[in-house]
Structure formats: structure tokens, C-alpha cells
Amino acid sequence: MNATLFAASRVSALILAVAVAVHLVVIIHAVQQGLTIGAILSRTHGNWAFLVLYGCFVLAAAVHAPIGLRTVLAEWFSWSGPLADWLLLAFGVLLAVLGLRAALAVFLA
């Protein structure tokens, strides 16, 4: 792994640590308050803080997961090289598109 990928992996992990913590706290809070889907969506609709948080969450995951998978594929299956890198890049883009689409859908709902 080169130093740039390593830095990207560590910085994205840092963002994920914060985002996952906030995500879990909000879920627990919502469940304990007994909020309905409608009540939740009314809070997230047009909420820029929500969109920025989950946008960062999704992008960090889209960066972090392919880098980790790249190591797993290389170490466990001895598979590396340009084809693996391109497929992992595509996987990262897929994660980003699906995740941002979901976050945007909740933001606009």
C-alpha cells in the first residue's frame, strides 16, 4: 500500500469513527423516544446538518471500504493488480452513488 492510500484509509477511518458514533446515538435516541418514520422524516427533511453528516459518512465509507478490501484480496486471495484496482474503484463509486442517493432521498422526503 502506498502512503497516499494509507493516509486516505486512516483519514476516512477517523471520519467514520465520528459518523458511526453519531449515527448510533441518534438511532438509540430515536428508538427510545418511540419516533415514527413520519416523525423522523419530518426532522430530516431539508435538514442540511443531516445531509452533510451522512454525505461525509457515505464518502468516507466509499473511500475506506475499497482500500480495506484491496488488502484482503491481496493477502487472502493473492489477487492484486490493475484489474483488481479498477474493480475496487468501481465498487467505491457504487458505494458512493448508492449511499448519496439514499441520503439525498431522506433529505428530500
CB 16 within 8 A of CB 67: no
Write down the least CB distance from residue 74 to other proteins, Å. 7
Q: Which of 20, 75, 85, 102 binds other proteins (CB under 8 A)?
A: 75
Amino acid in the structure at residue 17: A
- Among the listed ranges 5-13, 16-24, 39-47, 55-63, the one in contact with other proteins (CB under 8 A) is 5-13
Write down the least CB distance from residue 75 to other proteins, Å. 4
Q: Which of 13, 35, 65, 74 binds other proteins (CB under 8 A)?
A: 74
Which residues, other chains included, contact 90 with Cβ-Cβ below 8 Å and sequence gap of 6+?
none
Write down the least CB distance from residue 107 to other proteins, Å. 32
CA dihedral 25, 29, 30, 34 (to 10 degrees): 160
Write down the least CB distance from residue 87 to other proteins, Å. 18
Amino acid in the structure at residue 20: V
Instruction: Tell me if 17 contacts other proteins by CB under 8 A.
Output: no
What is the DSSP track for 56-69? HHHHHHHHHHHHHH
What is the binding site for other proteins (CB under 8 A)? 1-7, 10, 71, 74-76
